[in-house]
Amino acid sequence: MGRPKKDEARKEEILEAFERCVIREGVTGTTLQKVANEANLPRSLVRYFVGNRDQMVELLITRVIARASIPLQEFSPDNTEHSLSELLDFLFDGAFKNNTANGVVDRLWELANTDDEVKNALVGMYSALRTHIEKAMKTEGVGATSFQRSNTAQLLLSLAYGEASFAHLGMSSGKKGSSRQLAELVITQLSSTKGQ
């Protein structure tokens, strides 16, 4: 009965090695042999547990999208609607804090240029966040039109993702929370002009 747990542990070990390779070499530069070397396993064993390279990429995408979705699921387990302020806190303090997930997602962006399945998976992940923001904006009367709310939600996502990406490079703005404050300024400005 202990075998399935061992198999899952080995598969997990291989996928972690694959992630490290992808972060270092990109998706296209990562081969089964490189993953095998990274995991200190024979290539045949890697293939046995995760299949061929395409199957391993599919497993990686599923794994990364699931991991990237965890903060949103923990933040809103029953799809509860949150205030815009709570969503901004989540965006700037939780959504993009996993550097490993961010690194792999960055590499998946490259693959999305040529792979519609990867592109659609990423679009789905970010669209869920954008939808939460748009709903909160509508509930709080921010933005006169759905177009305005959609564009603003996209801007807020971009600010949060960009802030996390630059922080990962050691290029923070110098003042903690400055991007979050800028996001609030955008919301305040949009709220003050809705009747004009």
Q: List, for residues 102-144, the tens digit of each pLDDT value.
A: 778 888 888 888 888 888 888 888 888 898 889 989 988 888 8
Helix ranges restricted to H, the chain: 3-25, 32-39, 43-50, 53-75, 84-90, 99-112, 116-139, 146-168, 178-192
Q: What share of the chain is helix, strand, coil (3-state, %, to 5)?
A: 75, 0, 25
160/170 Cα distance (integer angstroms): 15
Residue-wise pLDDT tens digits, 53-97: 888 888 888 887 777 666 666 666 566 677 888 888 888 887 777
Note the CATH architecture for domain 1-51.
Orthogonal Bundle (1.10)
| Distance set, CA 148 to CA 76, 98, 116, 159 (Å) | 24, 30, 27, 16
The DSSP letter of residue 162 is H
This prediction's pTM: 0.71
